[in-house]
Structure 1
Amino acid sequence: MLDVLVQPKRDRRAAQKLMHKLLKKQGMAPDVWVTDKCPAYGAALREMKLSRAPHVQRKRANNRTESSHVPVRRRERKLQGFKSRGSAQLFLSLHAAAYNTFTVPRHLVSARTHRLFRAEAFETWRSAAGITA
């Protein structure tokens, strides 16, 4: 997951804002834009003149991203929604960073490598939080 931007609507303006935020954060344009089938993303790409990289909107092409949002949706159900867009944005931004650090594609690595990745992730977490183990 690269980033999450909470917006009241899924229109061209919201898509442009998300893409601008992603480009600023990543520092370079991607090789491929993979989005769901919302037409606002295509309109935003044309408006921002980002048509060098192909825009993929195939069925199930966006499954990795949608799957990474499952823990967020689970938390949202438990809390019966977030109290405000600001609190949702704060939680989701922090969640995206932590999710990328701790979630390792388990099916792609051996058990030994997985344990090594987990140890490195927890060490990174401890140093960021200022905790000594």
Structure 2
Amino acid sequence: MSVGVVSLLHKGHRYPVEVISHCVWVYFRFPLSLREGEELMLEGGIVVSYETVRRWCAKFGSAYAGALRRRQPRPGDKWHLDEVFIKINGRLQYLWRAVDQDGSVLGILVQNRRDKAAARRFFRRLLKKTGAVPRVIVTDKLRSYGAAHQEVMPCVEHRQSKYLNNRAENSHQPTRQRERAMKGFRSVGGAQRFLSAFSGISTHFRPRRHLMTAAAHRAEMTVRFAIWEQITGVAGLATAA
């Protein structure tokens, strides 16, 4: 987002951009409840209600996540897909997720089924969102994947194995942490909006730490924080000052 767009986004808010962006970062980066976020801000001398934190996250989370995704490099050509169940108001739903070989989240979709139609919809959504076609997709042995694959992208290699898809399965772990902290989701739409923002922001601040030295990790995080300040408008304000 440009500085002008960011200014319009924050127009009319009593709190400065630095406070809003910090609240959004804290909430999406760490497994905190809204009230815990309120308490953390209070410790820093900022009085803001948990309801205000909720509204900020709902309004700015998706915009920030979208800006981060637009800065990501082109996705890898090997996609890992997986689906897990989540409960929303006591009803069973399915969270579909796709990541590339580098662990970058390509897309998520909450649906109430995991049949061929649901898999087909997820495939088409991924192709449209990424604007790319993978060289190979890796899934578990759910038959819906095979049926949808033959219909949507039959020229793409499809590997099915419960042992090859650990990357996608592991990417669900942060979501499970947030689900517990939030005591579940209240609606399908709310879950989709939150998880779309969460997958963009949380992943940005989760480089593959186990592959880096401490110095390399600090350098990488410095770059990522600089990008965050750019897309939230904090860097622009500092330059103007």
Q: Check whether TM > 0.5.
A: yes
Q: How does 1:57-96 map to 2 (within 5 A)?
A: 57-96=160-199
| CA–CA distance in structure 1, aligned partners of residues 204 and 182 of structure 2 | 24
- Relative to the length of structure 1, the TM-score reads 0.90
Tell me, in whole angstroms, the C-alpha distance in 2 between the residues paired with 1:96 and 1:79: 16
CA contact (8 A) 2:140 2:160 kept: yes
Shift of 1:99: 2.9
| Runs (5+) with no aligned partner, structure 2 | 1-104
Q: Does 1:99 align with 2:202?
A: yes
Q: Counterpart of 1:6 in 2: which secondary structure?
A: strand
Residue in structure 1 matched with residue 113 of structure 2 by the alignment:
9
Give the SS at the match of 2:174.
Answer: helix
Query: What is the distance in 2 between the residues matched to 1:130 and 1:60?
Result: 43
> Secondary structure in 1 aligned to 2:141?
coil
Q: TM-score, normalised by structure 2?
A: 0.52
Show structure 1 runs of 5+ residues with no match: none
Shift of 1:88: 0.5
Mean Cα deviation higher: 83-92 or 115-124: 115-124
Query: How many residues are matched?
Result: 132
Match of 2:133 among 17, 29, 33: 29
2:214 aligned residue: 111
Residue 51 (structure 1) aligned with residue 157 (structure 2): no
In the TM superposition, what is the alpha-carbon distance from 1:60 to its structure 2 partner?
A: 2.4
Structure 1 SS opposite 2:111: coil
3-state SS of 2:175 partner: helix
Amino acid at match of 1:56: R
How far apart in 1 are the matches of 2:182 and 2:199?
18
Contact preservation (8 Å) 1:32, 1:53? yes
**Matches of 2:170 and 2:202 in 1, distance apart?**
12
1:130 alignment partner, one of 207, 216, 233: 233
Q: Which has the higher strand share?
A: 2
| Contact 2:139/2:162 (<8 A) preserved | no
CA–CA separation in structure 2 for the residues paired with 1:74 and 1:100: 14
CA distance in 2 between partners of 1:89 and 1:113 (Å): 34
Which has the higher mean CA deviation after the structures are superposed, 81-90 or 68-77?
68-77
